[in-house]
Structure 1
Amino acid sequence: MNHQLDPAGDDLPHENFRCGTVALAGRPNVGKSTLLNALIGFRLSIVSPRPQTTRHRILGIANNESGQIMYVDTPGLHRGAKRAMNRSLNRAARSAISDVDLVVQVIEAGRFTDEDEALYAALVEQSVPRLLAINKVDLSRDKSAMLPFVAELTAKHSYDEIHYVSALKRKGLKELEQAILQRLPVRPPVFGEDEITDRSERFLAAELVREQLMLRLDQELPYATTVEIEQFSDRPDGIAEIHAIIWVERAGQKAIVIGNGGAQLKVIGTNARRHMERLFERKVFLKLWVKVREGWADDDNMLKKLGYTD
């Protein structure tokens, strides 16, 4: 999924073709991943109602006649990062906003928290255009109540433009896309027209299993799990064979993930496999194991092995 072109060797598709990288930044659970999926028209970034679902920097590519926009979905910046993994996520989020052509700060309609404020302070340090996307406006019954909120916000914060969007209902996205495109540099595309991400199928397979853990498991347990792909190969019959390990921190967690008679693990595997087949456009044979590794989220070597790098 990553047939990257050499921009220096390609002519512009037309004289005003624009191409650039855009960070979607925000605190956890404001809807960045849903927004990314809506903007590229493809379900790439995993989504759950839980905060901190996104753990990696994920690139989603949108192509149209006007240009190519490379959106970066970032882990949410959050305070109180006590574990090594949480500190890694914060570093990844800060790194993502430091090397882009434009930043879209995503907030929730009617809310601007201390975490939003901390992110804004980090954005001000970057000398790139910044837009504000107020998401989840479909949940606000009284739209007029938004006016004093925005007035107070803009009195203290400077954005090039403000956009009201609903990522879930796909509202306000065309206007946001146009505002982004007109601020990107004129240059050739970096990726081919059929590319949607720079991530491998192996990475995406792990994410789809982890998505089911976020959706199926209760309370804090999803945050104690991660997924490692041990094998990803295409068999002669055209079926993708995938072996994945679900790592947990304690034996009691392993029992919960497996479930009574293996029922929970079976549902997780079945749902993940269906999403994989849709994304990879071929049949998938998925085998899951659950293993215990105490303190994996505080083990820097384990985190590096699992791809939690800056």
Structure 2
Amino acid sequence: MVGQRLSIVTDKPQTTRHRILCICSGSDYQMILYDTPGVLREQRHKLDSMMMQNVRSATVNADCVLILVDACKAPEKIDEVLEEGIGDLKNKPPTLLIMNKKDLIKPGEVAKKLEWYTKFTDVDEVIPVSAKYGHGVEDVKNWILSKLPNGPAYYPKDIVSEHPERFFVAEIVREKIFLQYRNEIPYVCQVNVISYKARPNAKDFIQVEILVEKNSQKIIIIGKEGKALKLLATAARLDVENFLQKKVYLEIEVKVKENWRQDVGFLKHSGYGGQIGIV
């Protein structure tokens, strides 16, 4: 809806960690959207609980809430998830359930799942969409606009996010980690942009560190003769260049920081307390 991809996407759960602000502006409207982490029923680390704080805080003053589900998966009751993320369902804002990936199942199956969610879920409306092909996206936009109050625009119309470029660079690197590595590796990685130097007559210089919790995890990230890290850096650099629309020199170093997912001070500094810190 904002015209470009701002959130990283993989097929693994809990890819999104931060609450990402997106701005969608038209001739007579402006929508401020928050893409939040998914609701975690089991919170094993301080990181998990702080991510859930981000989810809840995003809904406190929301004019409406969107819940995204995979249309390819069997329907399941999500009222417990709603309550965990929103709070008291009796006082919840208008809520829309979006069934994404409708293009991957038959129309009859879409209709059955739409009927099921409408009947068994405490939401105001269900809209099936295909984000890949744009089907149903306009219906979602119109639903949101019908719930928004009249008021002034908060941002210039050419702005799509308030996050700095270095935040998106870190997110792109983290996305490539999710795509390249398996098991627990993507979940133990924290990506920080240590240095970002814009150079008008040369490639921008970007220095990134990947933090893991154990040396064995560091070894996996680097790979034999550094080949895995080189592959990661190349994939990340290409996407960063596409996002920034300029050539960059990307340097990545892997370090060990034991139990960083339990370090509240570090997590707040890294933006998990709500505002994006120095990443």
What is the TM-score with the length of structure 2 in the denominator? 0.90
Comparing 50-59 with 253-262, which one deviates more in the overlay? 253-262
1:296 corresponds to 2:260:
yes
Report the CA distance between 1:41 and its aligned residue.
2.0
Report how far residue 238 of structure 1 moved. 5.0
Q: 2:104 aligned with 1:139, yes or no?
A: yes
Distance 1:258 1:288 in 2: 10
- Closer/same/farther in 2, CA of residues 125 and 199 from structure 1, 3 Å limit: farther
1:27-66 superposed matches below 5 A? 39-66=1-28
Indicate the residue corresponding to 1:113 in structure 2.
Answer: 76
SS at match of 2:147: coil
For these two proteins, the number of residue pairs brought into alignment is 270
Amino acid at match of 1:91: Q
CA–CA distance in structure 2, aligned partners of residues 307 and 247 of structure 1: 15
Cα distance 1:46–1:84, how it changes in 2: closer, same or farther (>3 A)?
Answer: same
SS at match of 1:40: coil
Letter in 2 for 1:61: I
User: Within the alignment, does 1:69 sit opposite 2:31 as a pair?
Assistant: yes
> Could you tell me how far 1:62 is from its partner in structure 2?
1.5
Which residue, out of 227, 250, 256, partners 1:286? 250
Partner residue, 1:30: none
Work out the percentage of aligned pairs sharing the same amino acid: 34
2:32 aligned counterpart, secondary structure:
strand
Q: Which segments of 5 or more consecutive residues in structure 1 lack a partner in the other structure?
A: 1-38
| Cα distance in 1, alignment partners of residues 112 and 38 from structure 2 | 26
Query: 2:94 maps to which residue?
Result: 129
Following superposition, the deviation at residue 154 of structure 1 comes to 2.5
Distance 2:90 2:258 in 1: 38
Question: What is the CA deviation profile of residues 6-25 of structure 1, one whole-angstrom value per residue up to 9, with x for unaligned ones?
Answer: xxxxxxxxxxxxxxxxxxxx
Aligned to 1:85: 47
Stretches of structure 2 lacking an aligned partner (at least 5 in a row): 275-279
If asked which structure has higher relative contact order (CA below 8 Å, sep 6+), I would say 1
Which residue of 1 is the match for residue 58 of structure 2? 96
Q: Cα gap change, 1:220/1:188 in structure 2, threshold over 3 Å: closer, same or farther?
A: same
Instruction: Report the equivalent of 1:31.
Output: none
Task: Provide the secondary structure at the position in 1 that maps to 2:99.
Answer: strand
Whichever residue aligns with residue 56 of structure 1, its letter is: H
Q: Is the 8 A contact 1:98 1:126 kept in 2?
A: no
1:160 positional shift: 3.1
Alignment-derived partner of residue 275 in structure 1: 239
Between stretches 98-107 and 223-232, larger displacement belongs to 98-107
Q: Is the 8 A contact 1:238 1:282 kept in 2?
A: no
Q: Which amino acid aligns with 1:40?
A: V
Q: Distance in 2 between matches of 1:200 and 1:238?
A: 21
Contact 1:74 1:93 in 2 (8 A): yes
Which of 253, 256, 261 in structure 1 is aligned with 2:217? 253
Displacement after TM superposition at 1:138 (Å): 1.4
| CA deviation map 1:246-272 (0-9, x unaligned) | 001111111111111111111111111
| SS at 2:194 equivalent | strand
Question: Which residue of structure 2 lines up, in the alignment, with residue 198 of structure 1?
Answer: 162
Q: Is the 8 A contact 2:118 2:125 kept in 1?
A: no
Instruction: Work out whether residues 190 and 212 of structure 2, in 8 Å CA contact, stay in contact via their aligned partners in 1.
Output: yes
Cα distance, 1:99 vs. partner? 2.2
1:93-242 to 2 correspondences below 5 Å = 93-109=55-71, 111-113=74-76, 116-121=78-83, 122-123=85-86, 124-141=89-106, 143-237=107-201, 239-242=203-206
Query: CA shift at 1:148, angstroms?
Result: 4.2
Q: CA RMSD in A?
A: 1.8
Change (3 A) 1:300 1:199: same
